[in-house]
A and B are shown apart, each in its own frame.
Chain A
Amino acid sequence: MVNLKINGIAVSVPEGSTILDAAKVANVKIPTLCYLKDVQKCGSCRMCLVEATGARGLVAACVYPVSEGMEVQTNTPKVRQSRKTTLELILSTHNKKCLSCARSTSCELQRLALEYNCDEDKFGSPEEYPVVDDSSVSLIRDNSKCINCTRCVAACDMQTVGAIGPIRRGFAKHIGSPFEVALADTNCVNCGQCIVACPVGALTEKSNVQQVWDAISDPTKEVVFYTAPSVRVQLGEPFGNPVGTNVEKKMVTAIKALGQNVKCFNMDVTADLTIIEEATELLSRVTTGGTIPMFTSCCPGWIKFIEHNYPEYLDNLSTCKSPQQMFGSLLKTYYCEKNNIDPANLFVVSVIPCTAKKFEVERPEMNLDTDVALTTRELAKMISEAGIDFNAIPDGEYDNPFEIATGAGAIFGATGGVMEAALRTAAVKLGGEGQPIEFSEVRGTDGVKEAEYTIGGVTVSVAVASGLGGARKIMEMIKSGEKNYTFVEVMACPGGCINGGGQPYVPDEIRNSIDVRAVRANALYTYDESLPLRQSHKSPVVDLLYKEYFGEPNSHKAHEVLHTTYTARNKFN
């Protein structure tokens, strides 16, 4: 252990710790911008400068290692002046359209500028700002607000996608895609991890809010929403609830209050349906010598990733549509037929913690069954705009016939959840009743998790990737022949959908101090435990769907409505 003093407070920290780590132990706050736990630590923005004995000049606390007897001062006139000037220089090129900015009040630069009493016009403003790249259907890059912290680049590299990077140098430096290609024409998978890493408003989702308002106020349209498993444990945060609060029932009430006759369904229903279809497909592949390992296909970020990087493995993907797209198709077919609605008049909105789902909606093979995919953030914005007092409204229930789902569907929102849900059902199919419900080996936020189960004489070897970095590791092990899996689950975002690119912004102070992914995932597992049904094959809604519409899993009709195809893409574009 190393002993040092931060502002006179004695602390003892492990060797190799940084001053920033030690300051946390001493409960001393040091401001940061380019630093983000688990994403980037490079000491380039100079916000975290402090005075330390033994150092020449001010040092960057996020990277400077502690040493025995060191005395650190984080709040001297010199330090404060330096930070203030740094901020004012950043502000000199920042497009200060704060009032209408999506990050206003959640912007790290805005908060620091206020804390340090900055003059945003001290060094003037540029005559011209860079142009906005709005080519992507999922996200918008507005470099006029970019502060070149490169957190987005670090997030993209962590995903091993590398669609963006710093270009040129000095004053000409900016973040963009190689050869200045528009983002839509790159290998970007639309995961949105760059958006949630961005400290300012340079990266945002492409908003579909207006389209939804238009549909709600159109008397010829019937508007139906359905909410993804993880949204219930995220939506409370923008309304002041602690991370991991389950607000499902208030969420349902709020959605229905957005307009008259707005219905709200539970997407967990098609998560359950996915399990039945996918488990049937897997068992059929295993017994008939089909392509193994089979990969899950719920995550559109992963789908685009494999299409660019491992197109030779597209046959390994389950042909099941994602729960979002299954739901869209189900609504435009089964639901419309049953209720005598013209599909053209049914406006279908999915609410997801994901920006890649916006791209998925627009894939040609998806037929625009789901009209719009809204992120959790956009839904929160609509709720605020509608003047709904979120914390005060009464609890509500999902609408018939898609209201009841199982805990297996709910855990789809966390890494390992699809695998665990599949195992719950596969175990019963292979070994009969009385099988375990929980498979803890596949839980947790590690990049790669592996397990082997023998049920009813059949051994299945499974792997779970949390984040595309983990997915690439698994793919390389499969490619080299090092590993032979039966079934592989991939969620593009580290931690799964609970940490998706469309989740509410988490203030950096919270993100740097707790594992938001684990807290939200726990909330989903707690919810799962509280439900009377925890295995997808026990879902009465799924049962009804097969009885009334599909006949049996993987039937011709099921293939028509619930399955899809994939497209090989180039590595870089």
Chain B
Amino acid sequence: MTQIPFKGTPEQEAELKAFIETKKHEPGCLMPVLQEAQRIYGYLPVEVQQMIADGLGVTLAEVYGVSTFYSQFTLSPKGKYKVNVCLGTACYVKGADKVLEAIEKKLGISAGGITPDGKFSIDTCRCVGACGLAPVVVINDDVYGKLTPDMVDDMLSHYID
């Protein structure tokens, strides 16, 4: 669970509530509402899930259950720089796990987490379609290929001001 305080704005809240109003009478509307909430806020903290439970008239337990069932939802905010480590087959056999370990060590957080200053978050993914460059890491829109653990410091230095 994230320790970063919730910083939602009234505009974000109004946008989510308006969307809930348009959806709340449709059966099975929890999924699209969660997706929209994640688009608006970037993640699904307790404050947002309570808004959804209230708005749809379902229990918080149900909202939380669905949000933890599907891997597309995240309960932790994403950093300014989103570090995505590919763990697809090609990257994996080329040592992506070692690269991930080095990144986790350098940033002091595990995959799925965010640094306390909100700058970096680490996630893992399956195949970004650049197997020729394995192992691959994507930071926001920048792609880094043919990585080894000792290249991690240099790669991240571009983002550490």
A: residues with CB less than 8 A from B are 153, 156-157, 161-169, 177-180, 571-572
Task: List residues 44-71 of chain B with CB under 8 A from any CB of chain A.
Answer: 46, 49-50, 53-54, 58-65, 68-69
How far, in whole Å, are A161 and B62 apart by their CA atoms in the complex?
A: 11
B160 beta carbon closer than 8 Å to chain A = no
Contact A178 B69 (CB under 8 A): no
Contact A162 B61 (CB under 8 A): yes
Q: Which of B46, B49, B59 contacts A162 (CB 8 A)?
A: B59
How far, in whole Å, are A258 and B62 apart by their CA atoms in the complex?
A: 45
Interchain nearest-CB distance for B48 vs A (Å): 12
How far, in whole Å, are A180 and B68 apart by their CA atoms in the complex?
A: 11
Contact A178 B46 (CB under 8 A): yes
Interchain nearest-CB distance for B161 vs A (Å): 33
Residues of A within 8 A of B14 (CB): none
Q: Which of A163, A166, A180 contacts B65 (CB 8 A)?
A: A166
Contact A168 B69 (CB under 8 A): yes
**6 A-B interface contacts by CB (under 8 A):** A153-B61, A165-B59, A165-B65, A168-B68, A178-B63, A180-B1
Residues of A within 8 A of B54 (CB): 571
Q: Which B residue's beta carbon lies closest to that of A162?
A: B59
Contact A178 B60 (CB under 8 A): yes
Interchain nearest-CB distance for A309 vs B (Å): 11
Contact A179 B64 (CB under 8 A): yes
Known A178-B46, A572-B50: A165·B69 in contact at CB below 8 Å: no
Q: Which of A156, A169, A177, A179 contacts B1 (CB 8 A)?
A: A179
Contact B59 A157 (CB under 8 A): yes
How far, in whole Å, are A572 and B62 apart by their CA atoms in the complex?
A: 12
Taking each of B61, B62, B65, B68, which has the highest tally of chain A beta carbons within 10 Å of its own beta carbon?
Answer: B61
Known A180-B1, A571-B54: A162·B60 in contact at CB below 8 Å: yes
Count residues of chain B with CB under 8 A from any CB of chain A: 16
Residues of A within 8 A of B46 (CB): 178-179
How far, in whole Å, are A179 and B61 apart by their CA atoms in the complex?
A: 9
Please provide the 3 A-B residue pairs with the shortest distance between their CB atoms, ordered closest to farther.
A162-B59, A165-B61, A178-B64
Residues of B within 8 A of A168 (CB): 68-69
Residues of B within 8 A of A153 (CB): 61
Q: Which B residue's beta carbon lies closest to that of A179?
A: B46
Contact A162 B68 (CB under 8 A): no
Residues of A within 8 A of B61 (CB): 153, 156, 162-165, 177-178
Q: Which A residue's beta carbon lies closest to that of B69?
A: A169
Contact B65 A167 (CB under 8 A): yes
Interchain nearest-CB distance for A275 vs B (Å): 35
Residues of A within 8 A of B1 (CB): 179-180
Taking each of A165, A178, A572, which has the highest tally of chain B beta carbons within 10 Å of its own beta carbon?
Answer: A178
Interchain nearest-CB distance for A316 vs B (Å): 22
Interchain nearest-CB distance for A549 vs B (Å): 45
Residues of B within 8 A of A161 (CB): 59
Residues of B within 8 A of A167 (CB): 64-65, 68
Other than A153-B61, A166-B65, A167-B68, give 7 A-B pairs with Cβ distance below 8 A: A162-B59, A162-B60, A164-B61, A166-B69, A178-B46, A178-B61, A179-B1
Residues of A within 8 A of B53 (CB): 572
Cβ contacts B78-107/A at 8 Å (1 or 0 each):
000000000000000000000000000000
Q: Which A residue's beta carbon lies closest to that of B59?
A: A162
Q: Which of A165, A169, A177 contacts B62 (CB 8 A)?
A: A165
Residues of A within 8 A of B63 (CB): 178
Q: Which A residue's beta carbon lies closest to that of B50?
A: A572
Contact B60 A572 (CB under 8 A): yes
Residues of B within 8 A of A162 (CB): 58-62
Contact B64 A165 (CB under 8 A): yes
Residues of B within 8 A of A180 (CB): 1
How far, in whole Å, are A524 and B69 apart by their CA atoms in the complex?
A: 46
Residues of B within 8 A of A157 (CB): 59
How far, in whole Å, are A161 and B60 apart by their CA atoms in the complex?
A: 10
Residues of B within 8 A of A156 (CB): 61
Task: List residues 20-66 of chain B with CB under 8 A from any CB of chain A.
Answer: 46, 49-50, 53-54, 58-65
How far, in whole Å, are A180 and B46 apart by their CA atoms in the complex?
A: 11
Interchain nearest-CB distance for B51 vs A (Å): 11
Taking each of B49, B62, B68, which has the highest tally of chain A beta carbons within 10 Å of its own beta carbon?
Answer: B68
Q: Which B residue's beta carbon lies closest to that of A172?
A: B68
Residues of A within 8 A of B64 (CB): 165, 167, 178-179
How far, in whole Å, are A571 and B49 apart by their CA atoms in the complex?
A: 13
Q: Which B residue's beta carbon lies closest to that of A156?
A: B61
Q: Which B residue's beta carbon lies closest to that of A173?
A: B69
Interchain nearest-CB distance for B69 vs A (Å): 5
Interchain nearest-CB distance for B135 vs A (Å): 26
Interchain nearest-CB distance for A223 vs B (Å): 40
How far, in whole Å, are A156 and B63 apart by their CA atoms in the complex?
A: 15
Interchain nearest-CB distance for A247 vs B (Å): 38
How far, in whole Å, are A168 and B53 apart by their CA atoms in the complex?
A: 18
Residues of A within 8 A of B65 (CB): 165-167
Residues of B within 8 A of A163 (CB): 61
Interchain nearest-CB distance for B94 vs A (Å): 27
Taking each of A153, A179, A572, which has the highest tally of chain B beta carbons within 10 Å of its own beta carbon?
Answer: A179
Residues of A within 8 A of B68 (CB): 167-169
